Amino acid sequence: MHVASMVEYGKHPKKYDKKTAGESTSYRYFFYNSGKIHHVKIGPLQPNTKYYYRCGGHGDEFSFKTPPSKFPIEFAVAGDLGQTDWTLSTLDQMRKRDFDVFLLPGDLSYADTHQPLWDSFGRLLETLASTRPWMVTEGNHEIESFPINDHISCVHTVMLGSYTPYDSHSDQYQWLQADLRKVDRKKTPWLVVVMHMPWYSTNKAHYGEGEKMRNALESLLYRAQVDVVFAGHVHTYERFKPIYNKKADPCGPMYITIGDGGNREGLALRFNKPQSPLSVFRESSFGHGRLRIIDHKRAHWSWHRNNDEMSFIADEVSFESPRASSHCRSNRFRGEI
Ligand SMILES: [Fe+2]
């Protein structure tokens, strides 16, 4: 059946006063022929507004809420999702409390070249992905073209590719440097970076894998005064103090591993002992996180461990952007990205 690459949308159910056309592609992978993959870019859209939309000129109506342009704004974060019963319980917990944007630090479908698993993953995520914006980066289970960035008026979010070259001559490095230079922190006070492979982890799984990338890019993020760095890959939850160059540093980003979305490989249960003083909280249970940015300097992070009955907050912290401290603002190493 021919379906047009077209989205009709508007602010009231079943009343579409706008219509945008796009294009479609498809691909073959050995014996797999994909369906049509439609790309339609709609907008401009107003912030904090619910839109109703329909794809292809017929069929089900979906609705979608755009993120607010002002604080507070809440991100839901879950990496290494996969498509297991654990994934379902993570998604159920996420649905229980509203959020504005979903961040996924890589490893989505665990298709691992088995293409029909992308289709089933799309169906699994449809009810969530159709209602809120989401941003993903590549994991080792899907190596594609990245990085990307997005600007949600008050929060600048950068997605980095752990499997894309990152040395100082690479396109990614040059792009990142130019992108960080452009951020006006008076207008966009918060800067969040998302990648797949953690730079800081005390779990035995994948231990040290992120070192090369950390050596290449950490000072760039530090000088740009990044607030929070999210990673996945290690199937656990771990929260660190603000760090720079393997030392606690109040002007550095807070590092969080949130690779416990629910994939088929299970949890990474073994941690190095004794626990590093840089690691504040670590636990290998399935769950998701919430970053609620309250205003230009205050935020709250919580980790919600999956539980059959309710979403259980097992770890939480209120914190301020390093930029709120005059010590970090006057740090002589800052400002030269
Ligand atoms: Fe991974």
Q: What is the mean pLDDT of residues 328-332?
A: 71
Average pLDDT of every residue of the chain: 93
Both 131 and 10 in one domain: the answer is: no
Say if residue 151's pLDDT is above 70.
no
Q: What does the pLDDT read at residue 145?
A: 47
pLDDT band at 308 (very low <50, low <70, confident <90, very high): low
Q: What does the pLDDT read at residue 307?
A: 78
Give the distance (Å) from ligand 1 centre to CA of residue 80.
Answer: 7
| Nearest-10 Cα torsion for 131, 5, 124, 157 | -50
Say if residue 262's pLDDT is above 60.
yes
Both 116 and 147 in one domain: the answer is: yes
Both 282 and 313 in one domain: the answer is: yes
Both 236 and 310 in one domain: the answer is: yes
pLDDT digits (tens, 9 = 90+) for 194-222: 999 999 999 999 999 999 999 999 999 99
Q: What does the pLDDT read at residue 150?
A: 65
Both 87 and 163 in one domain: the answer is: yes
Q: Which helix (H) or strand (E) holds 123?
A: helix 116-129
Is 1 contained in some domain?
A: no
pLDDT digits (tens, 9 = 90+) for 97-107: 999 999 999 99
Both 322 and 280 in one domain: the answer is: yes
Q: What does the pLDDT read at residue 74?
A: 97
Q: What is the mean pLDDT of residues 304-323?
A: 88
Both 132 and 276 in one domain: the answer is: yes
Both 182 and 318 in one domain: the answer is: yes
pLDDT band at 312 (very low <50, low <70, confident <90, very high): confident
Q: Is 169 a catalytic residue?
A: no
Residues near ion ligand 1 (CB < 5 Å) are 107, 139-140, 233
Enclosing domain of residue 19: 6-64
Q: What is the mean pLDDT of residues 100-122?
A: 94
What is the count of structural domains for the chain? 2
Give the distance (Å) from ligand 1 centre to CA of residue 95.
Answer: 24
Say if residue 144's pLDDT is above 60.
no
Give the distance (Å) from ligand 1 centre to CA of residue 207.
Answer: 12
Query: 42, 64, 86: which is the final residue of a domain?
Result: 64
pLDDT digits (tens, 9 = 90+) for 153-192: 799 999 999 999 999 999 999 999 999 999 999 899 999 9
Give the distance (Å) from ligand 1 centre to CA of residue 284.
Answer: 15
pLDDT digits (tens, 9 = 90+) for 28-86: 999 999 999 999 999 999 999 999 999 999 999 999 999 999 999 999 999 999 999 99
Both 206 and 253 in one domain: the answer is: yes
Both 107 and 147 in one domain: the answer is: yes
Give the distance (Å) from ligand 1 centre to CA of residue 260.
Answer: 11
Residue 155 — φ and ψ, nearest 5°? Answer: -135, 125
- What's the CATH number where 93 sits? 3.60.21.10
Cα 181 from Cα 19, distance rounded (Å) = 36
Cα 43 from Cα 40, distance rounded (Å) = 10
Q: What does the pLDDT read at residue 95?
A: 92
Both 102 and 150 in one domain: the answer is: yes
Both 36 and 117 in one domain: the answer is: no
Give the distance (Å) from ligand 1 centre to CA of residue 22.
Answer: 32
- What's the CATH number where 42 sits? 2.60.40.380
Give the distance (Å) from ligand 1 centre to CA of residue 261.
Answer: 11
Is 137 contained in some domain?
A: yes
Catalytic residue, chosen from 206, 296, 300, 327, is: 206
Query: 17, 41, 64: which is the final residue of a domain?
Result: 64
Give the distance (Å) from ligand 1 centre to CA of residue 23.
Answer: 31
Find all residues with CB under 8 Å of 108, minimum gap 6, and list them.
81, 121, 136, 139, 141, 142
Is 174 contained in some domain?
A: yes
Give the distance (Å) from ligand 1 centre to CA of residue 225.
Answer: 26
Q: Locate 224 and state its tokens.
A: 């740009």
329 versus 116: the higher-pLDDT residue is 116
Q: What does the pLDDT read at residue 223?
A: 93
State what percent of residues in the chain have pLDDT above 90. 85
